[in-house]
């Protein structure tokens, strides 16, 4: 495994979800919505470091494993 889920920036997470097949859509304020291939919509705050619980929840919702997500970062 090449990284950890700590210190992941919002925009890096958004890019990883897009690489996993998600479609980026604007959300409220600095938030970004990503519609994943499984039909779920993942919302990520765009420009700050993500809390670990939020990130893990988003990864689960997107239908990815933590390992798959780290590979996409």
What is the pLDDT confidence band of residue 4, given thresholds at 50, 70 and 90?
Answer: confident
> Edge-to-edge strands of the sheet including 31-35?
23-26, 31-35, 41-45
Smallest Cα–Cα separation from 13: which of 41, 61, 46, 40? 46
Is 41 a member of any domain? yes
Distance CA 42, CA 49 (A): 16
**Tens of pLDDT, residues 13-69:** 999 999 999 999 988 999 999 999 999 999 999 888 999 999 999 999 999 999 999
Which domain range does residue 66 map to?
10-72
Kindly list the distances between the CA atom of residue 70 and the CA atoms of 7, 9, 34, in Å, as whole numbers in the listed order: 12, 13, 17
Is 3 a member of any domain? no
**Tens of pLDDT, residues 57-67:** 999 999 999 99
Is 42 a member of any domain? yes
Is 40 a member of any domain? yes
| CATH code of residue 50 | 3.30.920.30
**Structural domains counted in the chain:** 1
| pLDDT value at residue 1 | 39
Is 2 a member of any domain? no
């Amino acid at each position: 495994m090449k990284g950890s889920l700590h210190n992941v920036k919002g925009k890096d997470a958004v890019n990883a979800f897009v690489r996993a097949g998600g479609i980026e859509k604007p959300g409220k304020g600095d938030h970004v919505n990503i519609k994943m291939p499984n039909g779920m919509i993942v919302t990520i705050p765009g420009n700050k470091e993500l809390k670990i619980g939020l990130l893990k929840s988003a990864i689960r919702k997107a239908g990815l494993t933590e390992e798959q997500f780290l590979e996409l970062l």
